[in-house]
Chains A and B, each alone.
Chain A
Amino acid sequence: MMKSELDRREFLKAGASLLALGSLAAPAAVMSIARYRSSPAAPDGIAEEAKRLTRQAIDALGGMGRFVSRGDVVWVKPNIGWDRRPEQAATTNPDVVAAVVDLCFQAGARKVLVSDNPCNEAVRTFPRSGIQPAAEKAGAQSFFLDERKFRKMALKGKILKEWEIYADAVEANKLINVPIVKHHSLTRATLGMKNLMGVAGGARNRFHQDPDNALVDLAAFLKPVLVVVDAVRILTANGPVGGSLADVKRADIVAASTDQVAADAFGATLLGLKPQEIGHVVEAAKRGLGKIDFNSLAPVMLQV
Chain B
Amino acid sequence: MVMQTSCNELPSMSSMSAQRSSGIVWLRRGVQTGFLLLFLYLFLQTVYHPINIVGGRATFFFDLDPLVMMTAWLAVHAVVPAMMLSLVTLAVTAVFGRWFCGWVCPFGALHNLLTGLRSGKLKTKLDSGGYSRWQRSKYYVLAFFLGGALVGLNLVGWLDPFSFFYRSLATVVFPMANLAAQKFFGWIYQVNPGIGAVRVTAVTEPVYEVLRRYFLAVRQPHYFWSLFIGLLFGAMLALNFLRARFFCRYICPLGALLGITGKNPTLRLVTDPSACNDCRLCVVDCQGGANPQGKAPWKPAECFYCWNCHSSCPSEAIAFRFEVPGRKAP
Which A positions have Cβ atoms within 8 angstroms of B? Answer: 1-2, 121-124, 126-127, 143-144, 146-148
Segment of B48-56, B259-267, B272-280, B286-294 engaged in the interface with chain A: B48-56
For residue B190, CB closer than 8 A to chain A, the reply is yes
Beyond A123-B51, A124-B52, A148-B190, whether A143 also contacts B213 by CB under 8 A is yes
Contact of B49 among A1, A2, A123, A147 (CB under 8 A): A123
Look across to chain B and name the residue whose beta carbon is closest to the beta carbon of A146: B212
* Residue numbers in B under 8 Å from A143 (CB-CB): 50, 212-213
* Residue numbers in A under 8 Å from B182 (CB-CB): 147-148
Number of A-B contacts (CB under 8 A): 29
Complex A-B: 5 CB contacts under 8 Å: A121-B218, A123-B48, A124-B52, A127-B50, A148-B189
Beyond A143-B213, A144-B218, A146-B212, whether A123 also contacts B186 by CB under 8 A is no
Look across to chain B and name the residue whose beta carbon is closest to the beta carbon of A122: B218
Q: Given the complex of chains A and B, what is the CA–CA distance between A225 and B199 in angstroms?
A: 32
Please determine whether B50 and A126 come into contact, CB atoms closer than 8 angstroms: yes
Q: Given the complex of chains A and B, what is the CA–CA distance between A89 and B238 in angstroms?
A: 56
- How many B residues are at the interface, by size bracket? 10 to 19
* Residue numbers in A under 8 Å from B49 (CB-CB): 123
* Residue numbers in A under 8 Å from B50 (CB-CB): 123, 126-127, 143-144
Q: Given the complex of chains A and B, what is the CA–CA distance between A148 and B216 in angstroms?
A: 14
* Residue numbers in A under 8 Å from B190 (CB-CB): 148
How many Å from the CB of A221 to the closest CB on chain B?
Answer: 23
How many Å from the CB of B158 to the closest CB on chain A?
Answer: 30
Look across to chain B and name the residue whose beta carbon is closest to the beta carbon of A144: B218
What are the 8 A-B residue pairs with the smallest beta carbon separation, nearest first? A148-B186, A148-B189, A127-B51, A123-B218, A123-B52, A144-B218, A123-B50, A124-B52
Look across to chain A and name the residue whose beta carbon is closest to the beta carbon of B49: A123
Instruction: List 17 additional A-B contacts (Cβ < 8 Å) besides A123-B49, A126-B50.
Output: A1-B199, A2-B192, A122-B218, A123-B52, A123-B218, A124-B52, A127-B51, A143-B50, A143-B212, A143-B213, A146-B212, A147-B186, A148-B182, A148-B185, A148-B186, A148-B189, A148-B190
Q: Given the complex of chains A and B, what is the CA–CA distance between A127 and B51 in angstroms?
A: 7
Q: Given the complex of chains A and B, what is the CA–CA distance between A216 and B46 in angstroms?
A: 42
Binary contact track B154-188/A, C-beta < 8 Å → 1, others 0: 00000000000000000000000000001001100
* Residue numbers in B under 8 Å from A146 (CB-CB): 212
* Residue numbers in A under 8 Å from B185 (CB-CB): 148
Q: Given the complex of chains A and B, what is the CA–CA distance between A268 and B185 in angstroms?
A: 44
How many Å from the CB of B110 to the closest CB on chain A?
Answer: 30
* Residue numbers in B under 8 Å from A148 (CB-CB): 182, 185-186, 189-190
Q: Given the complex of chains A and B, what is the CA–CA distance between A38 and B15 in angstroms?
A: 92
How many Å from the CB of B239 to the closest CB on chain A?
Answer: 38
List B residues 35-76 near A (Cβ within 8 Å).
48-52
* Residue numbers in A under 8 Å from B186 (CB-CB): 147-148
Q: Given the complex of chains A and B, what is the CA–CA distance between A124 and B48 in angstroms?
A: 10
How many Å from the CB of B16 to the closest CB on chain A?
Answer: 56
How many Å from the CB of B170 to the closest CB on chain A?
Answer: 17
Q: Given the complex of chains A and B, what is the CA–CA distance between A121 and B52 in angstroms?
A: 11
Q: Given the complex of chains A and B, what is the CA–CA distance between A124 and B53 in angstroms?
A: 10
Q: Given the complex of chains A and B, what is the CA–CA distance between A144 and B218 in angstroms?
A: 8
Q: Given the complex of chains A and B, what is the CA–CA distance between A123 and B217 in angstroms?
A: 10
Q: Given the complex of chains A and B, what is the CA–CA distance between A143 and B52 in angstroms?
A: 15
How many Å from the CB of A201 to the closest CB on chain B?
Answer: 14
Look across to chain A and name the residue whose beta carbon is closest to the beta carbon of B199: A1
Q: Given the complex of chains A and B, what is the CA–CA distance between A112 and B182 in angstroms?
A: 25
